[in-house]
Each structure stands twice: as structure tokens, then as C-alpha cells.
Amino acid sequence: MSVSRRDFVERAALLAAAGFVPRPFPPAAAPAPRPAGFRGRPVVVASANGLRGVQVAYDRILAGEDPLDAVIAGVNIQELDPDDQSVGLGGLPNEEGVVQLDASCMHGPTKRAGAVASLEGIATPSLVAKAVMDYTDHVMLVGPGAGKFARAMGFKEQNLLTEKSRQDWMRWKARLNPNDFWLDHDDDLKIKFTTGTINMNAVTAAGDVASVTTTSGMAYKIPGRIGDSPIVGAGQYCDNLVGAAGSTGRGEANIKTCASFLAVEFMRQGLAPRDALLRTLERVVAMTEPRLLRPDGRPKFDLEFYAIAKDGRYAGATLYAGGRFAVCDERGARLEEAAHLFPR
């Protein structure tokens, strides 16, 4: 359908009268392909729990390691840390007390991706996701099939439920009451440990990009619940021409907006990482169902995004003020304040 200039101007006036003022949008411009050996700036960004990991990943990149191997080494630190209850060993279990892990990764230079979901008994789902990418013709394996594949690839099985996580699960079970209902979890959105994940993204001096996200998912989830982390385009996404993005927080909100893909697409259209992430958060808000909105129209949950552009620019952004994210570049590893849409 063609729209005359007059129609367009009249519609814009109507929208403005209704209080809708679109943000200015830069013209779409595909970034020029970089020549081989492009000397950009190596940078690693991650969720705040990746502070130790970004340094490890950055050092490996400087040593010439592949960016995906580097970020996976970075997130392995949290996966293997029994005190981090949001990922890998020690992650909080599902409602039956079983730790089920999700992860996905993407490798810009080879345009490949791998993922596992509802994986049990293997502490490093990020490495299993990479094995799916490296050794199969598939992108995603779930549940018992993922476990069987991991064992066949030589991953060692172990009990992932630490005593601390078992105690927390028991406490959660004890406070259940017969009237509880799965949708009825306003308070649960605020209780500690409902969420937690690590996402890490890197770019090398040659402009090669990689991303990985790994999690034990929403605590006390229904067995088999899969979050955003293992979904390519939601939990993380990377495109070697543009950059990478990833997420932590309420996965259900992220899946519906394909938000990491969207953030990379906004960067492709010319937005800086910070603006791309804020624009993505606006979409998340627009796609939030009414039961999850506060009386002021803002979401009851939080969601965090992290992004790097191929040229080394980076950002973190959250719905609510106060979020921080980890970054490592030539100035060393540190936490920085994330951009936000709303005050807390």
C-alpha cells in the first residue's frame, strides 16, 4: 500500500497528538566489511558476575586465542564455582530439586552456533553447547539427549546440587502453600535467587566476535522449563559484521522479543551499543503482558543486556537504574554502571 506524503504527515500529527513521539532513528547503514587483520580494540563485556571471567577471556584473546574459547573459559569460572547459585555446579534446582542447565554460544567468524537445554549432571553446559556446535550438524540438544551426547563427548557426570542449594530449595518448598499457583508469583519475582546467569561477549583486535550465555535458569522452575539463555537470538547473538549481545534476567520476557538478535540488528542499523540496548528494552516493555506490569505501567521484573560492537564500543543496560556490568579492555577488568530506562 502506498502512502502519500500528505497521509504520512497527517498520521504523524495524529500520533503526536496522542502523545506518541518516536525517537529519531538514524538511517539504516550496513557497516562496511572490515579488511582481514583489522586492528580494532579487543574488549570483553559480561554480566557483573563475570568480573573474574572478563579478565581471563581478555588475557586469552591477547594471547591469540579464539574469542569463543576465550569467553567460554571466562564463564567456566562461574560454572565451576559452587558458591555461584545461578550457574553450573551449585546452581539452584528446579521444583523437584534437580539442577537443569541451559547454555548457548555463537562464533562470529564461522557463523556457527550451539546450544543445550535442560542438561543434567554436567557442570559446564557452555562447553557442551560448543561441542554441539563443533561436532554435530545441529544447533540445539535438550534433556536426556543432550546428556547422552555430553557423556559420549567425554564430559564427566557429577552431582550438581550443593548442600547450600539443597537447603535453599528445601526452604522454598517449606513455604509453598496449597493455594499457590504457577502464575501467581508477584512476590516470587522479587525473592532472591529467582534469576541469575552469566553472559559474556568478546571482540578481538581483528574484529572477530563471539558470545556465550550459561545458566541454571529460573530457580525452582517447572522441570523442563527452558529460559532464554540457550535460545540463539534471545540469550545471546553475534554477527561478525556487527557485534554481539546477550542477556540475563527474566528469560520469558527476553524470548518473546528475540532481544539479543534485536539489539544486534539495531547496531547493524547504525545505533551505538548503548542506544541499541535501550531501544531493545523499550521493545521488552512494549511486549510485557499486563499481569507483569506495575500500576505505573512499568515491568515488575528486571532484564539486563550487554553488547559489544565490532569496533570495540560496548554497553550494558537494564530496565531499572543501579545495574552494573563487567568489562575488560586495555584499562583492565572493572564494573561499570549500566544505562537504564527507569529510575529504581
Residues near ligand ASP (CB under 6 A): 195-197, 215, 217-218, 227-229, 248-249, 251
Q: How far is CA 282 from CA 69, 222, 299, in A?
A: 32, 29, 11
Residue found by looking up cell 518448598 in the block: 173
Q: Which is nearer to ligand ASP, 131 or 218 (CB)?
A: 218
Q: Are 86 and 193 in contact (CB under 8 A)?
A: yes
- Compute the least distance from the CB of residue 178 to ligand ASP, in Å: 27
- Compute the least distance from the CB of residue 91 to ligand ASP, in Å: 10
- Compute the least distance from the CB of residue 28 to ligand ASP, in Å: 30
Q: How far is CA 310 from CA 69, 100, 136, 164, 342, in A?
A: 18, 33, 28, 41, 28
- Compute the least distance from the CB of residue 192 to ligand ASP, in Å: 11
Q: Which is nearer to ligand ASP, 199 or 204 (CB)?
A: 199
Strand partners, 47: 325
204 catalytically annotated:
no
The residues, ordered by sequence, that sit 6+ positions from 187 with a Cβ below 8 Å of its Cβ are: none
Please classify residue 1 by burial: count the beta carbons closer than 10 Å to its beta carbon, then call 0-12 exposed, 13-18 middle and 19+ buried: exposed
Q: Which is nearer to ligand ASP, 94 or 195 (CB)?
A: 195
Task: Give the up-direction half-sphere exposure of residue 139: CA atoms within 13 A in the CB hemisphere.
Answer: 11
d(CA 126, CA 328): 20
Q: Which is nearer to ligand ASP, 42 or 91 (CB)?
A: 91
Q: Which is nearer to ligand ASP, 156 or 164 (CB)?
A: 164
d(CA 220, CA 91): 11
For residue 76, the surrounding DSSP H or E stretch is: helix 67-79
Among 197, 213, 214, 280, the active-site one is 197
Give the 3-state secondary structure of residue 197.
Answer: coil
From 235, 210, 186, select the one nearest 87 (Cα to Cα): 235
- Compute the least distance from the CB of residue 318 to ligand ASP, in Å: 12
- Known catalytic residues are 197
